[in-house]
Amino acid sequence: MSEPTTPHDVPIRPVDDPESRAEAVRLLRAGALVAFPTETVYGLGADATDEEAVARIFAAKERPRFNPLISHLPTAEAAFALGRATPAAERLAAAHWPGPLTMVLKRAPGCPIAWLASAGLETVALRVPGSAAARALLAEVGRPVAAPSANRSGRVSPTTAAHVAEELGDRVALILDGGPCMVGLESTVVDLSGARPRLLRPGAVTAEQLQALLGPVERAEAGDAITAPGMLASHYAPRAAVRLDATDRLPGEAFLDFGGTRADADLDLSTAGDPVEAAARLFAALRALDRPGVTAIAVAPVPAAGLGAAINDRLQRAAAPRR
């Protein structure tokens, strides 16, 4: 039988084959995108510790904004090295990992997950997938793998390798095929980083199952997302004000350039004007410039093409009036 071909001739190889996984590991470690099966949906994977690799996820999906991504690990032990365990998290892990459950935890000290993967937040979303083949791949990669569903923004999540090829065949280096996904629906996301557990996304692990282990679980309100752009609990905003489309620097300002417009800039998102590089540097740059004595961060204009749209979305939220 010949290898299945796709409109884009992207290789599709069996996830159960160690040589195919070795190729996936090589690609992931080199910063490329690899789609892989989990028990929920196919993920569009990248090395979660590599800011540029994570930026390529957003570019491939054509996501209009940088929402935080889930990092995948082979074991609970590996997950709790990256996110701070709590008694509740340990109870959930014992009952539901491996499985279709994602926990949002405070970053552990020295956590190497890219800032773009957590949209600049001090928390990280972690999951140990139920699929044994996915865990084998993750163990072999030896790094957290960031993976949203392997579809273009606004399309349905793929549950077969053929769906992935249709959606992203021209943008991934390799698709690992594990057959149809058993669950077919994204993982449940529960936030354990605050005083009380909050259900952020319903999924295969039900609210009742969570409550049996944790007691009362708040549900995130749909309205939470629109109260104050830039100041949402789930959206990083610098303490300093942010001034957009700046061509000059006012007293007390730090200057964040794009495309090398000012010789006296503090930082440049990309001197070459590359939006993928700029996305990769965005959150680290805002954090670096958000220091005592800086009243505002002046940001040079960033063209809206490609990932520029998501960069501008994030900058506009950071610049929006604060309550």
**CB nearer Mg ion, residue 48 or residue 318:** 48
Structure tokens at 15: 């996830």
- Partner interacting with residue 57 (select from Mg ion, ligand TXA, none; CB below 5-8 Å by kind): none
Listed in sequence order, the residues at least 6 apart from 258 whose beta carbon sits closer than 8 Å to its beta carbon are: 268, 269, 270, 273, 278, 299, 300, 301, 302
234 contacts ligand TXA (rule: CB under 6 A): yes
> Can you tell me the distance from the alpha carbon of 279 to that of 284, in angstroms, rounded to the nearest whole number?
10
149 contacts Mg ion (rule: CB under 5 A): yes
In the block, which residue shows the tokens 């809206």?
Answer: 304
DSSP H or E segment with residue 105: strand 101-106
Strand intervals (E) in 26-100: 34-36, 43-47, 70-72
Q: Which of 141, 147, 214, 256 binds ligand TXA (CB under 6 A)?
A: 147
Contact 57, 113 (CB under 8 A): no
Binding residues among 67-126 for ligand TXA as defined by CB under 6 A: 67-70, 102, 104, 118, 121, 123-125
Minimum separation from the CB atom of position 234 to ligand TXA (A): 5
> Can you tell me the distance from the alpha carbon of 317 to that of 237, in angstroms, rounded to the nearest whole number?
8
Q: Which amino acid is at 281?
A: R
41 contacts ligand TXA (rule: CB under 6 A): yes
Query: Which stretch in 5-13, 102-110, 146-154, 270-278 sits in contact with Mg ion by CB under 5 A?
Result: 146-154
Minimum separation from the CB atom of position 53 to ligand TXA (A): 14
40 contacts ligand TXA (rule: CB under 6 A): yes
| Contact residues: ligand TXA, CB under 6 A | 38, 40-41, 43, 67-70, 102, 104, 118, 121, 123-125, 127, 129, 147-149, 186-187, 189, 191, 200-201, 234
